[in-house]
Amino acid sequence: MNLRLVGRSVLPVLGAGIFLWPAAHAQAVPQHFEKHFAVKGKPVVVIQNIANGRIEVKSWRNPEVVLTGTQASDKISIESEQAGDRIGVSSNLVDASAQPTEMEADFQLTVPEETELQLKTQTGLILVEQVMGDMTLESVAGDVHLKEVSGYIIVTTKSGSLVCTQCAGKLNFNSISGGAQLLQPALSNVNLFTTSGNILFDGDFVRTGLYTMKSGKGLVEVRFSTSDSFDLNAQTSTGTVDNQAADFLKPDSHGLKHMASKYTKSFFGTIGQGLAKVELSSYSGTIRILKRD
Amino acid sequence: MRDSIQCQGLAEAIEQEGLSPLPESAREHLARCADCQDLLADFNSISKAARELPAEVEPPARVWISLRAQLVSEGLIKKEGPAPEPARRARWWGGLAGLLQGRALATAAVGLLIFVAGAMQLERTSAPPNRELPGVSGSGGKAQAEEPDALTDSGTALSNQEHELRAVQPAGTLPTSSPVDDDLQKDLQTLNAFIADCQRHLKSNPHDQLAREYLAGALQQKAELLAEMMDRGRSVN
């Protein structure tokens, strides 16, 4: 085969390859990443995800934080740093022309049981299981699921909802349209505020606990057991109070005289000795009080 | 040893002249006064941190005006009289305002308005419900309706902020750009509808404390939502 013939057959292919290479390279190819961070005490892990995606956190008994995940394209970069027991992870936009699908990054964290967390993502689930430590979790549109976590827990969303199962400690939740479900909680201090989401508290009230649950337009539902002990104050401006447990509630016996405002529909009552304090309110939604079976 | 008169002089010199260069007398006092050294170090730290803030969209003038008017009405600051050296004062405070301009300050300003509104609300709560304002006859409700309402001011400031955000078209105030932006838009509509509902209700029931609390909460959320939209606009655009 002479050189001219080789040139005729190979060069067009080579030329096409060179021409198409940048396009093929720019396609969104998911990339996997994995990093290990040895820690000594209780680590503090901060994730700032400007991209969309889920963050999963689970615990183990090893003194090590393991970060794994995927990024949808190289139009975002994942950067991390460690300073002692503080670990920071962030996703950054590299190419401003990135489409939403190219701006996705999912994170999986495995951390020691006692770890402090500060996590922020745009959309996508934040899931934390079996972690003990203070945590600040922020999501724009993603839901937040917590299971068997304890500490001072702050959850802020715009439209994402919170499901907190067997959580302990203190919980502060604020959302515009997201709801909150607290299932089998062991929380001693609860402060929930949502403008249009629903709130469900299904579980026991810790004695001496303080519980404030407010929804602007949504349903606030509390399911209690007869072994609970709490003072209840429920009020709404233009909504309704649906008290399906009137037989179990008796007048407040703590000497505090409740004055019902003439502008609101209010309900006061005590279960047991009234050791915990429960305040429920809604501007225009429904407050429902139920006894669990 | 602290000399309160000289310390006061140093503070005035900083207020009028800025952080440097200080007059000779102030520098001499500074050299031997640990309290003032701490004060100057604090000012330097604040100034340094403020300079490192990224230059962003300037908060609308009406936020400043509304904030200032509110603070004056609360007696927290005095109305500025004819200053002996207006140009020099303007230079120092104008410089500080310039350093702190940006979204964070705009949000903080609105937050402060809502805080002031909350303080007014507490004040009202502690007062008898049917009080009459001096010089105002009629029912307490009428009197309250005639008072300047800080929550209304906050709502107006936020609406203006929203309109200006739309004018610069950050992500989230644009037509559909991503699912998250759509969600933010829906949340903004939810809040606007809720705020309007509360405001309508409060016009006829100005003493409904619960409604006022919800309105304040929704205004705070709106301030944070607009800040989030601005953040997304900056990172996406």
CATH code of the domain containing A114: 2.160.20.120
Strands A76-83 and A144-147: what pairing?
Answer: unpaired
pLDDT 10s digits, B162-172: 777 666 655 44
Q: Is the pLDDT of residue A66 over 80?
A: yes
**Domain co-membership, A49 together with A154:** no
Q: Is residue A213 part of a domain?
A: yes
How far apart are alpha carbons B225 and B237 in whole angstroms?
18
Beta-ladder partners of A55:
A107, A126
A262 pLDDT tier (thresholds 50, 70, 90): confident
Cβ distance A39 to A112 under 8 Å?
yes
Q: Show residues of chain B in contact with A121, CB under 8 Å.
A: none
User: What distances in angstroms separate CA B169 from CA B159, B165, B233, one per listed residue?
Assistant: 15, 6, 8
Rounded percentage of chain A residues whose pLDDT exceeds 70: 88
Strands A76-83 and A86-93: what pairing?
Answer: antiparallel
**Domain co-membership, A279 together with A153:** yes
pLDDT 10s digits, A117-146: 999 998 889 999 999 999 999 999 999 999
Return the closest-CA partner of residue A158 out of A183, A195, A128: A195
The count of structural domains within chain A is 2
Nearest CA in chain B to A124: B180
Q: Which of A127, A157, A178 is a domain's end point?
A: A127
Interfacial B residues in 178-237 facing A (CB < 8 Å)? 178-180, 183-184, 186-187, 190-191, 194, 197-198, 201, 205, 207-211, 214, 217-218, 221, 225, 228, 232, 235-237
Question: B176 CB near a chain A CB, below 8 Å?
Answer: no
A51 pLDDT tier (thresholds 50, 70, 90): confident
Region A212-231 average pLDDT:
94
Region A71-90 average pLDDT:
92
Categorise residue A184: left if φ over 0, alpha if ψ from -120 to 50, beta otherwise.
left
Tokens of B119: 């303080």
Return the closest-CA partner of residue B37 out of B10, B64, B17, B13: B10
**Mean pLDDT in chain B?**
66
**Domain co-membership, A152 together with A191:** yes
Strands A64-71 and A31-38: what pairing?
Answer: antiparallel
**Domain co-membership, A57 together with A161:** no
Give the model's pLDDT for residue A175. 97
Residue entry with tokens 């004819």: B82
B159 pLDDT tier (thresholds 50, 70, 90): confident
Q: Which of A74, A101, A127 is a domain's end point?
A: A127
Max mean pLDDT among A65-79, A258-272, B91-105, B117-131 falls in A65-79
Comparing CB atoms, the residue among B177, B194, B210 nearest residue A195 is B194
Smallest CA–CA distance, residue A158 to chain B, in Å, is 7
How far apart are alpha carbons B43 and B27 in whole angstroms?
15
DSSP output for A64-77 = EEEEEEEES-TTEE
Answer positive or negative: Cα dihedral of A79, A84, A87, A93: negative
Domain containing A215 equals 143-293
Q: Is residue A18 part of a domain?
A: no
Question: B115 CB near a chain A CB, below 8 Å?
Answer: no
**Domain co-membership, A156 together with A271:** yes
Q: Which of A98, A127, A156 is a domain's end point?
A: A127
Provide the residue ranges of all domains of chain B, joining segments of one domain with +: 1-52, 98-236
Q: Is residue A188 part of a domain?
A: yes
Smallest CA–CA distance, residue B44 to chain A, in Å, is 27
Give the model's pLDDT for residue B40. 80
**Domain co-membership, A279 together with A254:** yes
User: What distances in angstroms separate CA B79 from CA A114, A183, B83, B153, one per listed residue?
Assistant: 53, 54, 11, 19
Comparing CB atoms, the residue among B187, B198, B209 nearest residue A158 is B187
Q: Is residue A205 part of a domain?
A: yes
Report the amino acid identity of residue A38: A
B108 pLDDT tier (thresholds 50, 70, 90): low
**Domain co-membership, A99 together with A156:** no
